[in-house]
Amino acid sequence: MFRQLRHIASMAKPLSQHRLEENSLTSLPQQLRGRGAGFNPAARFERRHGQFVDDGWDSLADLPRLLTTVTEETPRTIITHNDSPDVGFDRSINPYRGCEHGCIYCYARPYHAHMGLSPGLDFESKLFAKPEAAALLRAELSAPGYRPRTIMLGVNTDAYQPLERRYRITRGLLEVMLEFRHPVGLITKSALITRDIDILKALAAQGLVKAAISLTTLDAKLARAMEPRAATPARRLDAIRQLATAGIPVTVMMAPVVPGLTDHEMERLLQAAQAAGASEAGYILMRLPHEVKDLFRDWLAREKPDRAARVMALVRDTRGGRDNDPEFGSRMVGSGPYAWQVGRRFQLACERLGLNRDRFRLNDTLFRTPPRPGDQLTLW
């Protein structure tokens, strides 16, 4: 199902070799530089686990820096369907598995365990790409009886992460969307989305696209620690500005809101996004499923030890006394007085700024299957 591509690292090895050698990395400065996770928790479905152990000669200090490897994936289909009542779409495409942005809170981290890899450092350094995505999409949209509904790109892992500069898979998918006049939505933390303004502008002219920029904080230092390889807050605001200027509808997503760490910025952040050109806004309260809770606790202890206890207390206060609440209806916005307060503040700020006053609905009436070479032309 998978074939090893070329690697962006001299230490790249087949997946089977990585499983025992790197599944329990401890705090290694060279390994962790520029990464979000502080260790590699064992993949929860694996029977055998391994770890690095110092032999007393400081040998761990000699380990090379952890670099990124890429494996090509060849799935049979590309559109993923869901029936979740918590999201406003029923289909999506993820061009990549894993994400080099390394956001410590990322709810997609646990999915890497299904690959026999760790949701920790593996998630942000062992990536998978789907180079045939555009061809697969074209085939699925051409299937008899296909009915168009908005397809979201990059809802699990970022469609514009650094790997996209080389692979251009997301751009290829947008080209197919334009060819079929199919409605599409995007969400990203990357300013790389501005590279595709030419295609997005053509889609927007037909009411076929909406872009969302995820902006968690305006504090550049906090963003660097929490989202080490994502675009800076200033660059994301500039991306909103460029997209809006080009006539592309833009939503700002404060996703996630981290209780006790970023929630105090809500009004200021929404004001900055609205001034840059965002017309809609949304938020998600931080979720900590499976291994993410331990990764986030470790990050708090390293980066924000003075706030760690309060942050986790507030997280539990919004999750019914637990670190995570997986229930539909509450998992995105939390519950309890503190979660209500966050939601009410968001509502009042949006009303004051005029955000969400007019919700832009994508057009799904223009869809057509373009003729292929050799097809018989119709008279009508």
Give the tens place of pLDDT for each residue, 43-52.
777 766 655 5
Give the pair of three-digit tokens for residue 321: 């006394």
In which element (H, E) is residue 15 found?
helix 15-21
Indicate if the pLDDT at residue 11 is higher than 60.
Answer: no
In this structure, the number of other CB atoms found within 10 A of the CB of residue 358 comes to 10
Sign of the Cα pseudo-torsion (69, 73, 79, 83, in order): negative
Q: Between 129 and 6, whose confidence is greater?
A: 129
pTM of the model: 0.86
The full length of the chain comes to: 380
Helix (H) or strand (E) holding 213: strand 209-214
Q: Which residue in the block uniquely carries the two structure tokens 């908005």? A: 150
Q: Say if residues 60 and 91 touch (Cβ distance below 8 Å).
A: no
Helix (H, G, I), strand (E, B) or coil at 153: strand
pLDDT at 157: 93
Q: What is the mean pLDDT of residues 324-336?
A: 83
Name the range with the highest mean pLDDT among 3-17, 21-35, 188-202.
Answer: 188-202
DSSP state of 227: S
Q: Is residue 54 scored above 60 in pLDDT?
A: no
SS3 content of the chain, % helix, strand, coil (to 5): 35, 10, 50
SS3 285: strand
Distance CA 270, CA 255 (A): 12
Average pLDDT, integer, range 252-261: 95
Q: CATH fold of 2-353, please?
A: pyruvate-formate lyase- activating enzyme (3.80.30)
